[in-house]
A and B are shown apart, each in its own frame.
Chain A
Amino acid sequence: MLAFIIQRIFQSVVVLLLVGLVAFSMFRFVGDPIDNMLGQERTGADIERLRTQLGLDQPFPVQYAKFLTNAAQGNFGVSYRQGRPVSDILAERAPATLELAAVSGLFAMVLGVALGVFTAIRRDGFTSNAIMTVSLIGVSLPTFLIGILLIYLFSVELGWLPSFGRGETVQVGGWTTGFLTASGLKALILPAITLGLYQMTLIMRLVRSEMLEVLRADYIRFARARGLRDRSVYFRHALKNTLVPVITVTGLQLGAIIAFAIITETVFQWPGVGLLFINAIQFVDIPVMAAYLMLISVMFVGINLIVDLLYFAIDPRLRVDRVEAKA
């Protein structure tokens, strides 16, 4: 098990290096940060001086190597736009995104699994069919449109929920949280639904189809023939057997929730890292963009590692295979 984890961490480092390389080579085409940093009245000398100062005159491999050495020490450089260390800016912005992602991920998972199980058990019921039809909307409507529709309905027409921002936040240690105030919680609802709706419908449809598959299995018939209660048949025997594919997809989607928070954060002016990234792109703020992409890839890699470990926890057959493979 330990060997497996070490092996995976080694693989993760390779993945991160590649992500960094791809990201870095793309930044060269985004634009020239110097244009934005210096005002209208600049001289050729100013430009050259700043370019040297930022190290942008050096060849690409040198820039990349320098970035890596610094990043390995936790130093992501200084934002071109804000003139502050990128790590400070990220630490300031990350709580907003992580809280939003956690709430929408939870929303997607809990509701997705519950509705998936429900629609599989009552496969021909009216409610199930209604849920399945409505879920098509969740799958097919783009996120920004859902966000705008929700804002229109709940903020503009009904006036129940705020349309932008995080509401009041409380500082707990180095972490700003919106969980502890009423307005912070209210501000979370719309963006969390917007961000998690697609994932929720995806998980629901996946759970449903996996459940329908498993419910046909012999061991489910046998469980019924043994006179077990429906609750036990559905949740103890059936649901557990659907979890491996469900966890795979859920894990990836959780990463996607964090990564694609960009759109939701833009629609709701949510002060998280996604919004930071969009602003960074507009300004060609290379240190911020690089740090953001590295952060996202670390999260993806981490989530995948957790997913792989969960497989072992769920399915005993995998544990055996690994032992045998080593022997």
Chain B
Amino acid sequence: MTPPILSVRDLVVEIPTRNALLRPVDRVSFDIAAGEILGVVGESGAGKSMTGNAVIGLLDRPAHIASGEIWLKDKRIDGLKGEGLRKVRGKGIGMVFQDPLTSLNPLLPIGEQISETILEHLPVSKSEAEARALAALEEVGIPAAKARMGSYPHEFSGGMRQRVVIALALCAEPDLVIADEPTTALDVSVQAQIIALLKRLCRDRGTAVMLVTHDMGVIAETADRVAVMYAGRLAELGPVRDVLTAASHPYTAGLMGSTPLASKGLARLNQIPGSMPRLGALPTGCAFHPRCPKTQEKCRVDPAPPMQGRAACWYPMTVEEIA
């Protein structure tokens, strides 16, 4: 197997507060290979976005990487500062944010925003950068791209803006794209187009993608592998087909049970009882045990084990339970 583009090893992100030391990301490890799309799912506050921000070095103080390693190809990028970090951003890792309405500078024409990014990272002339910016806009499907180069963000719809954002994230040819809820703020009808676009562009270029979302449908359609996060930890990590059809961690099973599927007809959806604990008030043992249908004494006392097979669970789902 080819070496991964991104390799995250035992990543811990900590936020010191007056009362306690919070760990929004706790010993998370995963790899993403070239051209692969890793979906990262979980409830709000599970640490998905925090993981993405940690990878690109955009954690807001006082949050910081406390331990662990992040490797981009053969380069260690956690702890990079200043110029080193700046060169990784955009060139090594592109990022797509959740809200296309606010992620573009309202006062600069979009063509200029793209060409400034290209000029920053690639050794090209100004006219060459503009030509590439135009090509990038055409590639993401902006109609009449040439005429729209001088347009300002407010002159585009939400879906078109997200296309511009994707063009911006990809224009310096990064090895990895982190897409943080790229479709959450969009109309349902536009979501599929944007996901298809992201998928096609990254396949074509062999760009690795870390797709952060809470939308199981998007994951099912897009991702090659999926990482399920709960309370800052990885609960399950595996190929998307296996995880969706035969969840190994009880939390994943609960998530799947609570996702509406056309094939299930009008049956009532299952719920996972309770809600995810706040970071400041994690239970002892496995963080999921108060909500887990399979809790045993061990779960209340011992923290969840490291990944065993696909899941970090003392008592993963058995074949009979899945069926």
Contacts and interface: CB of A to CB of B under 8 A. Distances in A.
B105 A227 contact: no
Taking each of B87, B97, B165, which has the highest tally of chain A beta carbons within 10 Å of its own beta carbon? B97
Nearest to A221: B58
A217 B87 CA distance: 22
B95 A317 contact: no
A237 B108 contact: yes
B89 A226 contact: yes
Contacts of B116: 228, 232, 236
A241 B107 contact: yes
A266 to B, nearest CB: 43
Contacts, number: 79
A222 B90 contact: no
B233 interface: no
Chain B interface size, under 10 / 10 to 19 / 20 to 34 / 35 or more: 20 to 34
A174 interface: no
Interface string B164-181: 010011001000000000
A237 B120 contact: no
B139 interface: no
Interface residues of A, number: 22
A84 interface: no
A225 B89 contact: yes
Contacts of A224: 58, 89
Interface string A206-229: 000000000001110111111111
A229 B103 contact: no
A316 interface: yes
Nearest to A319: B152
B95 A222 contact: yes
Contacts of B103: 218-219, 221-222
B87 A227 contact: yes
A222 B116 CA distance: 13
B58 A241 contact: no
A262 to B, nearest CB: 38
Interface string B102-124: 11111110000000110011000
Contacts of B107: 240-241, 314-316
B91 interface: yes
B104 A320 contact: no
A320 B154 contact: yes
Contacts of A222: 95, 97, 103-104, 165, 168
Nearest to A217: B102
B302 interface: no
Nearest to A317: B154
A227 B106 contact: no
B142 to A, nearest CB: 18
A123 to B, nearest CB: 11
Contacts of B152: 316-317
- List the 6 shortest-distance A-B pairs measured between CB atoms, nearest first: A227-B90, A227-B89, A218-B102, A225-B95, A226-B90, A316-B152
Given A227-B89, A227-B121, A316-B152, 16 more contacts: A218-B99, A218-B102, A219-B102, A219-B106, A222-B104, A223-B105, A225-B97, A226-B120, A226-B169, A227-B172, A229-B86, A315-B106, A316-B106, A316-B107, A316-B154, A320-B155
